[in-house]
Amino acid sequence: MFRILSSLPMRPRSGNLRIMRTGMRLLLILLTFFLVAAESPSPWGADELIGKKAPDFTLKDLAGGPTSLSSMKGKTVLVNFWATWCPPCRDELPSLSRLSGLYRNKGLVVLAVATDKRPADAKSFLDRHSFTFQTLTDPDLKASRLFRVFSMPTSFLIDRNGVVVKRYLGEEEWDSPEIKKDIEKALGSAK
């Protein structure tokens, strides 16, 4: 009996080996896909933030000083993620500045978060304009990831309680009647 067992091949047949290798490759491809998909931002990921407490972040302003979202407690905040390389972002900044000027004394804080890899690019661009909002830099995209930003520009309206009440995807006319209505509603939220 020992002779019979020792004469059997110890390796699987070549057809079975091919099936096993193909199966392992397929499994590795699927595993890689799911790991990448779990880490990649998606256009729908940011919707999960609506109705929840806004994630806190601390970023540097253009002078290099730190500013955190939590330091805006009790104020309505509009966080706008933008970049100098993004034409729709640049196009909406004048109306964002007008909105900031219109509601600044009523409790609205506009934080324009520049996502350029080089903060100097944002500073150079903004030095040529006279916008009224505060600009922060996010070269490592830390805040952008927290807010699950998928495309530029993307903005979030956060009420006085620190809850994300609305997301805006794409270029907006920030001083339009519809957006003013959103801002006034958020400004009126209870403390």
Direct distance between the N- and C-terminal alpha carbons of the chain, in angstroms, rounded to an integer: 85
Mean pLDDT of all residues belonging to the chain? 86
Inter-CA distances, 103 with 99, 108, 189, Å: 6, 5, 15
How much is the pTM?
Answer: 0.77
Are the C-beta atoms of 122 and 114 separated by less than 8 Å?
Answer: yes
Are the C-beta atoms of 151 and 121 separated by less than 8 Å?
Answer: no
| pLDDT value for 35 | 44
Cα 1 to Cα 4: distance, rounded to the nearest angstrom = 5
DSSP strand pairing (134-137 vs 76-82): unpaired
Chain-centroid distance, C-alpha 50: 13
* Residue 46 pLDDT grade (very low, low, confident, very high; cuts 50, 70, 90): confident
| pLDDT value for 153 | 97
Of 77, 117, 123, nearest to 99 (Cα)? 77
| pLDDT value for 37 | 45
Q: Which residues contact 134 (CB under 8 A, 6 or more apart)?
A: 61, 67, 109, 110, 111, 112
pLDDT in tens, 157-188: 999 999 999 999 999 999 999 999 999 999 98
Window from 3-12, 13-22, 37-46, 115-124 with minimum mean pLDDT? 3-12
